[in-house]
Amino acid sequence: MKTVLTSLAALTLSASLIQAQQGPGGGGRRGGGGGDGEQQVALPTIPLTKEQVDVISKQLADLEKQVAEKRGSSLTSIMAKLRSAVASEAAALNFYLECEMTVNIERKDLDKTEERARKEQAERQAERRTDKGEQEQNGDLGTAIKLQIEYLLLTLEAHETKAEDRGKLVPKLQAYIQELVAKSDKLRGRAGQALGRDLAGSPIVQAMQIERFLRSEGWSGNPVNIGGMFEATIFPFYAAQKKEDLAAQWDARIAADIAVQKGRLPEPEFMIWGQQELPPLRWARAVYLAANGPSPVNGLAEMLNHIKAYPGHPDAPKWLETMRTAVTNSGAAGQ
């Protein structure tokens, strides 16, 4: 029996590896592509006796426990390091620099001259990050990195939370957004750019090799994308549990966006943002509430009032077309 199972496992593994390497065209798989980068292999149906199924199922159950224990221990250790790093802005920045050194120097096949040049460059960057004049122009990198790590911790927690329990994370996500708003004046220039990248591109994530823990349905992977946080997590929760609060949540989303942009952008750029980007955001609110809010009629009224308020906006023709379609469809449904 043991020989049969061993042969079966070897045959299955060999077939899987060959198909995964060749891909559907038989020419081998290369980097890039969509999804999570893994080729889905359709295994053949293999005749097994009940005894074989029972033996394999028992082994799988034991392995599942081992995998959960090992994975949980590894993730607990990672999150403990990250929590230590958010003790202060200085601790966060030091941790970031260590990870940056690991990724850009220690893992590179550099000669001594190039390695020394990279280290000197990292030291100059560290000095520049503590310069007061630099902070006026380019924000506080320590604040940005601390926020990034805080959002990374939330993202790891979201990855380990079942979809039906994701609502428990909404208050934590809202608290993070409030902190992001409160510290937005420290996120100018390079600091804002560092926070604005997706988590997968962070040296911290790369140094700790935790990219695969970032993939989570219903969760934004960007620490400063307020719209993504609301659309992926907060709005779906309220639509399912507290539909009457959706309008207030949309107001919170818009207010947070305004505050963050005002803190990050120079005044002239913020004024342009308010003229060009804010009206489409308010339009999206009206359309969403018409489609998902407790009173679709009120949503349609808001859509109409919005067009009246911004008739000169470049998107106004599209808004008119959307409004006409909605009214026509609503009229036909009412007949």
For the segment 127-144, the average pLDDT, to the nearest whole number, is: 72
Angle between helices 89-101 and 112-129 (to 10 degrees): 160
Question: What's the rounded Cα separation, in Å, for the pair 32 and 36?
Answer: 10
Every domain of the chain and the residues it spans: 61-163+188-220
CA 226 to chain centre: 10
Reply yes or no on whether the pLDDT at 157 is more than 70.
Answer: yes
Picking from 231, 223, 220, 213, the residue whose alpha carbon sits closest to that of residue 36 is 213
pLDDT, tens digit, 9 for 90 and up, residues 35-74: 444 556 777 778 888 888 888 888 888 787 776 666 656 7
The continuous run of DSSP H or E covering 112 comes out as helix 112-129
pLDDT, tens digit, 9 for 90 and up, residues 81-109: 999 999 999 999 999 989 988 888 776 76
Q: What is the pLDDT of residue 119?
A: 63
Q: What is the pLDDT of residue 286?
A: 96
| pTM for this prediction | 0.74
Find the range with the poorest average confidence among 121-125, 276-280, 325-329: 121-125
Angle between helices 246-264 and 267-276 (to 10 degrees): 150
pLDDT, tens digit, 9 for 90 and up, residues 9-21: 333 333 333 333 3
Q: What is the pLDDT of residue 35?
A: 44
Picking from 146, 142, 175, 139, the residue whose alpha carbon sits closest to that of residue 265 is 139
DSSP label of 232: I
Q: What is the DSSP string of 11-52?
A: HHHHHHHHHHHHTTTTS---S--STTS-----PPP----HHH
Find the range with the poorest average confidence among 37-46, 200-209, 270-279: 37-46
